[in-house]
Amino acid sequence: MAYAIALDGPAGAGKSTIARRVAENLGILYLDTGAMYRAIGIKAVAQGLSLKDEAAVGTMLESTDLDIRFVAGAQEVWLDGVNVSDAIRTPEASRAASDVSTLPVVRRAMVDLQRKIASRQSLVMDGRDIGTHVLPDARHKFFLTASVEERAHRRLLDLQNRGNQSATLEEVRADIEYRDRQDSERTFAPLRQAEDAVLVDTTDLNIEEVVQTILGLIAAKQNQSEG
């Protein structure tokens, strides 16, 4: 029977990396929901739309083909027939994603797609509102967090590893603080920890420590339910 693991948390908390590793360990898929919002964001920017104009962005969505594919277990994001998996990994795409994600018309469309994907197979899904809104009945829920400084350092390193050598720590930190405000203050499905989610502060933990902590908690809960 298909089951879901929800990982929520603020920008730069390590959700994507952790979710991917947890999925690999469990032999299930990983769905990066943030990539979906990034794709919509970069299209809106390319068309010169105001990212606050819900009517205009909603009209754009009607003619948008967003396809999430899994190739050898890895997620690819295709936008209107073009693979944008790498193009969406920029600070600009990150900020655009944060802006369009505040629009109810965008969130409704993305949530519908995310739920359809989750209904077909077991997976780990990370985002801002997975455990509270997208998959409130997920079997396992975690809320990852870390200090702003640590999140900025991690995001900068990730950008540099992807070939972006022009980004600065100040720029990345400002982007994270901006996204924190956007995510927590939006009226539709704001960022918050689900009541039944386990809080994991990753500030002083490396990737493997976080992965093993989560896997251990999942195993313990499964053993308890089977016992």
Task: Specify which residues 29 forms β-bridges with.
Answer: 123
Q: Within a domain: residue 42?
A: yes
Q: Specify the pLDDT at position 74.
A: 86
- Supply the range of the domain harboring residue 115: 4-216
d(Cα 62, Cα 3) in Å, to the nearest integer? 30
Residue 67 in any domain: the answer is yes
Q: What are phi and psi of 47, to 5 degrees?
A: -90, 0
pLDDT of residue 158: 86
**Residue 110, token pair as written in the block:** 């993305």
Residue at 77 is within a domain: yes
Q: Is residue 221 part of a domain?
A: no
Question: What letter represents residue 224's amino acid?
Answer: Q
pLDDT of residue 111: 95
On whether residue 93 sits in a domain, the answer given is yes
Q: Which parts of the chain sit beneath pLDDT 70?
A: 227
Q: What's the chain's length in residues?
A: 227
Report DSSP state, residue 197: P
What's the chain's Rg over C-alpha atoms? 17
194 contacts 131 by C-beta, under 8 angstroms: yes
CA distance 53 to 153: 32
Q: What's the confidence (pLDDT) of residue 57?
A: 98
pTM (predicted TM-score): 0.86
- The CATH number given to whatever domain includes residue 166 is 3.40.50.300
Q: Give the pLDDT confidence score for residue 227 in this predicted structure.
A: 63
- Asked, for residue 225, whether it belongs to a domain, the answer is no
148-161 helix and 169-185 helix, angle to the nearest 10 degrees: 120
pLDDT at 150: 96
- 53 inside domain: yes
| Terminal CA-CA length for the chain | 19
Give the strand pairing for 66-71 and 74-79: antiparallel
The pLDDT score that the predictor gives to residue 45 is: 98
Residue 180 included in any domain: yes
* Residue in the block written with tokens 């990396």: 17
The total number of structural domains that make up the chain: 1
Residue 177 token pair: 């603080």
pLDDT given for residue 190 in this prediction: 84
